[in-house]
Amino acid sequence: MSNLFYQAHGRKPVLDQARGVYMWDQDGKRYLDGSSGAMVCNVGHSNETVLTAMRRQMEKSTFGYRLHFETEASEQLATKLAGLMPEGLNKVFFVSGGSEAVESGLKLARQYAVATGQDTRWKVISRRPSYHGCSLGALAVTGYSPLTAPFTPMMQEMPKIPAPRAYLDGLDADDTATGLYYADMLEAKILVEGPESVLAFIVEPVGGASTGALVPPRGYMERIREICTRHGILLIMDEVMTGAGRTGKFLGSDHWQARPDIVVMSKGLGAGYVPLGAMIADERLVTPILDQGGFAHGFTYAGNPLACAAGLAVLNEIEMQDLCANAAVMGNGLLARLNGLMQKYELIGDVRGKGLLTAFEFMGDRDSKAPLPASLNAHQRFVDLAYARGLIVYSRRTRDGTHGDHILVCPPLIVNAGHIDEIIEGLDASLAQFSQEIHADLKA
C-alpha cells in the first residue's frame, strides 16, 4: 500500500531511468515519452548540459533567501528570459510552477491597478474551456467544471467567454471573420461587466490540456489585443504550456501580433529538471508598484539558485540546439501524419496544433461533431492502450470536461523524424485496437 494519493485509479509502474525521449520502468520496459510528461520535458530527459549546470550550482549553493541575497543564477536567468520576451517585458518574478505563475500575474495586475488609482478594476475575464492552474485564484479563471465545481463557494468566480472552437461551430478558422466573431465576444463581455470593472483578460495562446491544442482562428489574437488596449485592460498570456519553444517559437504568442502585458511560464522552463516558473511583466506595470513599496506577494522558494541554474541551462540548450525551429519542422510533419491517421480512422474527428503541441479529438460522428458517449471513457482507454505498447500520450476530456475526448501528442522538442515514425506507428497500432473495441461497444 502506498502512502501517496495522487490518483483514484490504479498504481503505475515505477520509473527507473529516462534519457532523451525514452523512459524505462523498473521491469526494464521502454516507453517513448510522447507527451513530454505533461508537456514539460522540452529538452528531453537527462540532458548532460543541464545536469552539469545543476551539479556546478549544487556545489556552490542550493538556497539563498531572496530577501537576504541576490544570486548569480537568478540574475542571469532573468536577463536571459527578458531578452527572449517582446520589447518592454523585462521585469521577471520567479516562482516554482504554473499555478504560482498565474497567481502572480493576476495579483501583479491587480496591484498595478490599485497603485495607479484604478481600484474599480478587479475582474479577470477568461475562456471556457481553459486551464490556468489549481490554486484558488488560478482556478477562478479556469473554465473546466470537473476541476472547479467542488470549490466554487470558496473562490471569486470570474467572467468567462467561449474558447474559439471553430471546428465545433462549423466555422472556417482561416477566415478572419471567424476570428473576429470569437474575439468580439470579449468586447461584449467587457460591456456587460462594465469596462471600468475589468482588470485583465487571461488566455492560452494555443489551448492546452482543456481544449487540446486549440489554435486560434485567423485575426483572433490581434483583435483581442486591440480590444484590451481600447478598454485599458491588461492582456495576460498564459504560456505555461506553450512557452519555451513548444509551438515552434519561443512564446506561443510570438506567432501573432498580440503583445502581452504579462507572460506566465513554467513547464518547459524547468523542463522537468526543477520546479520553476516565471511571471514576466511590462516594466510600466512594475514601476508604480515598486515606487509604492513593492509587490505584496512572493513565495519562499522564489529564485532558488538551483532551479534558476537549471532553467538557464535549459534555455541555452533550446537556443544551441535550435529547438524552436526543430519543433516547427517536426510539428508540421507530425500534424501531417496525424491527419493521415484521421483519414484511416473515422473515430478521429479533428486534428489540430502548432509546433509540437498537437492533438486529435475522438468523435462519434464527424458530421454532427457528436462526441463519443462519456460512459465509454474513450480518452483514458486510448491512453492505456498506447501505454501498454510503450507510447506515452496525454489525454483530457474536452468541451468543458464533461464530454468529448482528445489526445495530446507533444514529444520533447529534440525529436527527430525516426521518433515521429515511432510515435505514429504506436498511435496507429493503438488506434486499430481502440477502434475495434469502441465499435464493438457502440454496437452492444
Contact residues for ligand PMP (CB under 6 A)?
A: 38, 97-99, 102, 131-133, 204, 208-209, 238, 240-241, 266
Nearer to ligand PMP, 358 or 430 (CB): 358
Give Cβ neighbours of residue 440 (< 8 Å, ≥ 6 apart).
none
First to last CA, the chain: 37
Burial of residue 48, with CB atoms counted within 10 A of its CB: 0-12 exposed, 13-18 middle, 19 or more buried: exposed
CA distance 356 to 286: 33
Nearer to ligand PMP, 143 or 364 (CB): 143
CA distance 92 to 2: 39
CA distance 281 to 263: 6
Nearer to ligand PMP, 270 or 371 (CB): 270
The least CB distance from residue 141 to ligand PMP, in Å, is 10
Q: Minimal CA–CA distance to 310: which of 50, 28, 6?
A: 50
The least CB distance from residue 178 to ligand PMP, in Å, is 23
Q: Is the peptide bond before 162 cis (omega within 30 degrees of 0)?
A: no
The least CB distance from residue 304 to ligand PMP, in Å, is 15
β 198-203/123-128 pair status: parallel
The least CB distance from residue 39 to ligand PMP, in Å, is 7
Nearer to ligand PMP, 38 or 374 (CB): 38
Closest residue to bound ligand PMP by CB = 98
Nearer to ligand PMP, 132 or 259 (CB): 132
Nearer to ligand PMP, 115 or 139 (CB): 139
Per-residue b/e over 117-155, b at no fewer than 16 CB within 10 Å? eeeebbbbbbbbbbbbbeeebbbbbbbbeeebeeeeeeb
